[in-house]
Amino acid sequence: MDKNIEIIDNFLPEEDFNSILTNISSPTWPWRFSEGVSDPTENESNPNAYQLVYLFYDRWGQYQSGMEFISPLINKISPLSFLRIKANLLVATKKIEVFNYHVDVNNPHTGNKLKNSRTSIYYLNSNNGKTIFEDGSEVKSISNRFISFPSHMMHTGTTCTDQKRRLVINLNYVPYEDYESI
């Protein structure tokens, strides 16, 4: 496993974890269809390359309702600044689908990756899906698991075959201790 990948199991107290899972798993949660998983052209070669997403926040100031449901997660991370917070739902497939490697956020002014920014994934349900890094490191989807790594690391996700869906919350942020990187 790459030393830059931090894995924390049982990240939130069970009550907070269950509250987040219950809200995001609700049949009334307003998911939106997204063409592609890592980029919109991906589904041209793979019809399973799509996902349902819910954008909580992006750096351009777009907020949606629901932030209150994930406040225990936000409060525990407590960064200097969030760049994006998004929930992803990948439906089960007959075989594990692996998508294109990517980074989540780049500096829109220079095209360079943001210095010292972090990408984190919070897993909401256990399944046989995973996050894979370009160096071959893999992290299994286990409920209430939190992983964090430098945002410049190329990674991808997969579908699952043993549950109806794979649910994660993806967070991109600048840690408080790295305030000089903005």
Long-range contacts of 106-115 (CB under 8 A, 24+ apart): 113/151, 113/152, 114/83, 114/151, 114/174, 114/181, 115/178, 115/181
Q: What is the DSSP string of 123-135?
A: E-S--S-EEEETT
In this predicted structure, which of 45-54, 77-86, 99-108, 117-126 has the lowest mean pLDDT?
A: 99-108
Residue where the block lists tokens 């991109």: 172
Q: In which band, very low, low, confident or very high, does the pLDDT at 180 lie, cut at 50, 70 and 90?
A: low
pLDDT tens-place string over residues 88-116: 999 999 999 999 888 887 655 445 556 68
CA atoms within 13 A of residue 64's CA, in its CB half-sphere:
16
Q: Are 141 and 166 in contact (CB under 8 A)?
A: yes
Q: What is the DSSP string of 81-111?
A: EEEEEEEEEEE--SS--B---B-S---TTTS
Contacts of 75 (CB under 8 A, 6+ apart): none
User: What are the structural domains, with CATH classification, of the chain?
Assistant: 6-181 (2.60.120.620)
Residue 60 has pLDDT above 70, yes or no: no
Question: What is the rounded distance in angstroms from the CA atom of residue 91 to the CA atom of residue 52?
Answer: 8
Q: In which band, very low, low, confident or very high, does the pLDDT at 7 lie, cut at 50, 70 and 90?
A: very high
Count of all residues that appear for the chain in the document: 182
pLDDT of residue 160: 97
pLDDT tens-place string over residues 149-160: 999 899 999 999
Share the mean pLDDT of the chain. Answer: 87
The number of beta carbons lying within 10 Å of the beta carbon of residue 38 is 18
Bridge partners (DSSP) listed for residue 66: none
Residue 179 has pLDDT above 60, yes or no: no
- Is this prediction's pTM over 0.85? yes
Residue 42 has pLDDT above 80, yes or no: no
